[in-house]
A and B are shown apart, each in its own frame.
Chain A
């Protein structure tokens, strides 16, 4: 029997050679991705994961693991297995040629024309 300085351990009456069966796959349940909103009006942001057996518990757990210091007003959870992602190997699909000024605000410079027009008046 373990004799401990911790009264909790003594109350549990634990054998020192308490070999146990290893945990089986999914013993710790599946994972949910957790998103939280810091303030009303903000986007929800990914903050991490929780292991949970169902969505309600994922919400209960997510609230405490990621919002216990009052930094959230709302959270979402979604099963990790339900999330579709692009591959980092394909991150070059986000690269694009720089000649796409037509869809940037900076691509439109009208002051030259206005000034020229004013001078001509």
Chain B
């Protein structure tokens, strides 16, 4: 469940290719242009490795932190069908973190280093998970619409250039299609249910709309840097394109259920694009930098989980084990 990589806008494109071997760079770019994948031990520009590690790692963190808001409702899911499905869904998110960390490891960053960067706040994760799931309906909205957004991003990235990331995403996308169906089924059940249920789901949707609009990130500054990342098939679509795709696919489905969205300007214009009120990007930045309602809790819970598991991991560590990065 992940929106997009948060790429530091201060990275200067001019710096990124400095010192790279021009011939190797040309071969590398030609391979990508031919539609071939890059594999772990291939030569790659330093910036390519750096951006991929950052992106895949953030994606992995988003899965493991993303298990928390929905996990809030694991002990309270109503009835066998919902309880089993929610357990399986949250389990899948943990499984996705495992797959993504494994892909990032092939680029030379260990899982320990990634977890350390997560729990110290050095590394980011998708901003939406810093919001709370107040009611059962919030968990349902997450399962439907956040996963829907994630699928748009992941389907695009699965066509990227780095082999291990694409393979992980193929597997993830298959599982996400269950999540989406599960989430939709839940929201439909609430929206077509009793007045109290409708009220519950409408309130959750209203709460989650601003974070959903933030989900794909602010408009990309079209810089040389972004262009290079798109040429390298690290970034597969602009944030605005993905947001448009999401609105196009899901706003009609939401309106179909007679639910309202808290944006009076939301409509499809004559050019076939969606108009909307510009999301509050100051709020987005504030939350990314730790000021959201759940940032402190999410990281404290993660640190607690790592700490409580430490004796288990330490006990089974043997002197002869040695770490080498996974092959593929």
Contacts and interface: CB of A to CB of B under 8 A. Distances in A.
Answer whether A and B touch in the complex at a CB cut-off of 8 Å.
yes
Interface of A: 2, 4-9, 12, 14-20, 22-31, 33, 46, 48-51, 53-54, 57, 65, 68, 80-81, 83, 85, 87-89
Contacts of A29: 313, 316-317, 321
A53 B303 contact: no
Interface string B107-143: 0001110011001100000000000111000000000
Interface string B309-328: 01001101110011111111
Nearest first, the 6 A-B pairs at minimum CB distance are: A53-B316, A6-B72, A23-B112, A49-B326, A28-B111, A22-B116
B301 A20 contact: no
B210 interface: no
B327 A85 contact: yes
Nearest to B324: A81
A89 B95 CA distance: 32
Given A18-B307, A20-B119, A5 B317 contact: no
A2 B300 contact: yes
B98 A65 contact: yes
A65 B92 CA distance: 9
A54 B301 CA distance: 28
Contacts of A6: 68, 71-72
Given A23-B306, A27-B314, A80-B327, A2 B321 contact: no
A105 B167 CA distance: 34
A53 B327 contact: no
Given A12-B304, A81-B324, A85-B327, 11 more contacts: A4-B72, A12-B301, A16-B297, A16-B300, A23-B306, A25-B112, A25-B323, A27-B314, A30-B322, A31-B326, A49-B102
A85 B310 CA distance: 33
A53 B115 CA distance: 18
A87 B133 contact: no
Contacts of B318: 53-54
Nearest to B321: A30
A33 B306 contact: no
Interface in B23-54: 39, 41-43
Contacts of A30: 321-324
A80 B39 CA distance: 16
Contacts of B296: 2, 16
A88 B41 contact: yes
A88 B296 CA distance: 44
Q: Which among A25, A49, A88 has the highest number of chain B CB atoms within 10 Å?
A: A49
A27 B313 contact: yes
A22 B326 CA distance: 22
Quick one: which of A15, A16, A53 has the most chain B CB within 10 A?
A53
Interface string B72-95: 101110000000000000010001
